[in-house]
Structure 1
């Protein structure tokens, strides 16, 4: 977050307290930005017929990240919802790497079963889950503090609502509690004499209650939902290039210098950093007020990615979704996919610490559902997936093959 450039690479294990998940093994990352398709031809089954087999995702599909359809995603019912067939089933994995930095300042939380984790402390719509990523700057103290106390701030100190259905009243109450928790956490960092006033952290938290997904964000970590293969951004990066944030900063007396808030921070919202917020109670261009986005999950929603800015500095939301989706097709392991995402960011020369969480929203991979087929079709050899279109280079290679080899017999 703070403008700096350091250059020692070191990998470190993931620390997840009670909800630790250790992944084993990693497959080589393929550069999905390549626009060349390799055609593998088999002998024609009939005159003039050429069978072309392509590896899945061999040709990258350049799709811009989808904007939120707020009217659809935010359609939270006023009263109890009618029961639907789709019920999310959460399983997650994570991976973190120090990257080229000298110190690791990222922290994260994964709780796939929030009700079981909190026990009698919480009565909420089920299934329920809680995830968080905290990207520290200045040092790691603020991020580590928020990780240690996040559960207390949200579910113990804010009179968290008790409900059996995620209706609009419940949603509004949860938002109020989370907003209050962020402000309490910010003040707690100011009061803790063991934490430097220059220590701060971004914070992104995702809570799921039944089919309701709520994301609260301060800073430039990002949550991205995969909906039928398309990236739906569930948070807005709080950076000076975000027009609304720039306007708010300038109206509060701050300024942007070379892309940094007051020439120091690359984010416009954060917890801590009290050397920029003092004296307490005075207006500050750096705030800890979270922004919210929510969605009602459906069977079209495959997984959620939460990552720190070390990921998003070097790849788009759609690129990250494509990497994870392809990995889940191969091994159906969210922890492995999180590691693949981090390794790809390292290959793309990210300059920051790296943390990624992948949350599958079903007990099985739904990224490529089987299509029904007849008995005759079942007896035929399985057909590989194919792309809807080929790149210009691939078409050129295919035409050359047909002219030189395919037409010789």
Structure 2
């Protein structure tokens, strides 16, 4: 799912931004990834609508092939048992050939994997940050860490209320609150089996891709901005990361080299001793 988003999210956002502006486009593009994953999965499972126009079918088959490459599949549809209503306003947009297929069994063939997403867009002197999940965006301002996103966790009241209203439940497992006994976050792209209540909008599902958006005017004191997933933040605090990256840049490192050094520093030297901290997937 992360690779799928890497491939398609920027292009979809650019198209939406031209028509609707940055903030509206950011919200729509997160849900758009769900719609595209859902549609692609259905084509993957051979569920295209009979009589579909040939150019639409060709576009969907190209998307299915892309998903197969990204998911490492051999052409067989991944098992799943639910489908999102996809009723956000982005769902009806079919200009690139992706479309919702009506199927007698809408649960078949859907992608069950998911990923968090944090996206930053600089427009003029403004920085927009959209986040769904527990990845983070942190700005270095005069050497201090400024959080430009908030983790979405099931224990938070607004998240808990939505999950329960959508028919989900929360469990405490090993001191961690989990959604339906599984996920320890409450927003993500993908995870389509948690988006199955056809009476609810996409933003109100058990797990939703609905991002929170922050907009900040940049100042001369702003040195750099860090985007990273929870594997990093489980090991270092926001300020620790800002201090670490700043020290590497002071040594003349490039931003990419500093990011690689950050990941190396977060890796557990002894997974058994670390008890999982520093053993998660990491992206920065």
Interval containing the TM-score (normalised by the shorter chain): 0.5 to 0.7
Give the superposition deviation at 1:355. Answer: 1.1
Give the total of aligned pairs. 204
Is residue 351 from structure 1 mapped to residue 272 from structure 2 by the alignment? no
Q: Distance in 1 between matches of 2:207 and 2:129?
A: 20
1:143-184 CA-to-partner distances (Å, cap 9, x unmatched) read 11111111222112x2525xxxxxxxxxx8311111111122
Normalising by structure 2, what TM-score? 0.67
Relative to structure 1, the CA distance from residue 230 to residue 243 in structure 2 (aligned partners, 3 Å threshold; closer, same or farther) is farther
For structure 2, the residue ranges without an aligned partner over 5 or more in a row are: 45-66, 68-77, 79-110, 269-273
* Paired residue secondary structure (2:192): coil
Q: Distance in 2 between matches of 1:314 and 1:178?
A: 29
1:34-53 CA-to-partner distances (Å, cap 9, x unmatched) read xxxxxxxxxxxxxxxxxxxx
Counterpart of 1:269 (choices 173, 183, 187) is: 187
Partner of residue 254, structure 2 = 333
* Matched ranges for 1:356-371 at <5 A: 356=284
Q: Distance in 2 between matches of 1:334 and 1:151?
A: 21
Normalising by structure 1, what TM-score? 0.47
Partner of residue 167, structure 2 = 253
Q: Decide which structure has greater helix share.
A: 2
Give the superposition deviation at 1:280. Answer: 4.2
Counterpart of 1:160 (choices 7, 10, 18) is: 18
Is residue 218 from structure 1 mapped to residue 129 from structure 2 by the alignment? no
Higher relative contact order (CA 8 A, sep 6+): 1
2:127–2:218 Cα contact (<8 Å) kept: yes
Partner of residue 207, structure 1 = 121
2:162–2:205 Cα contact (<8 Å) kept: no
Partner of residue 299, structure 1 = 220
Is residue 229 from structure 1 mapped to residue 147 from structure 2 by the alignment? no
Displacement over 6 Å in runs of 4+: none
Partner of residue 150, structure 1 = 9
Give the superposition deviation at 1:298. Answer: 0.6
Relative to structure 1, the CA distance from residue 345 to residue 159 in structure 2 (aligned partners, 3 Å threshold; closer, same or farther) is closer
2:188–2:207 Cα contact (<8 Å) kept: yes
Partner of residue 34, structure 2 = 186
Q: Distance in 1 between matches of 2:278 and 2:223?
A: 27
* Paired residue secondary structure (1:207): strand
* Paired residue secondary structure (1:217): strand
* Paired residue secondary structure (2:128): strand
1:113-148 CA-to-partner distances (Å, cap 9, x unmatched) read xxxxxxxxxxxxxxxxxxxxxxxxxxxxx1111111
2:166–2:197 Cα contact (<8 Å) kept: no
Partner of residue 384, structure 1 = none
Give the superposition deviation at 1:279. Answer: 4.8
Is residue 177 from structure 1 mapped to residue 25 from structure 2 by the alignment? yes
1:266-313 CA-to-partner distances (Å, cap 9, x unmatched) read 110111111121254545211111100111111111110110111011
Q: Distance in 2 between matches of 1:250 and 1:308?
A: 26
Relative to structure 1, the CA distance from residue 207 to residue 248 in structure 2 (aligned partners, 3 Å threshold; closer, same or farther) is same
Partner of residue 314, structure 1 = 235
Q: Distance in 1 between matches of 2:127 and 2:10?
A: 18
Relative to structure 1, the CA distance from residue 186 to residue 281 in structure 2 (aligned partners, 3 Å threshold; closer, same or farther) is farther
Q: Distance in 2 between matches of 1:298 and 1:181?
A: 28
For structure 1, the residue ranges without an aligned partner over 5 or more in a row are: 1-141, 162-171, 357-409
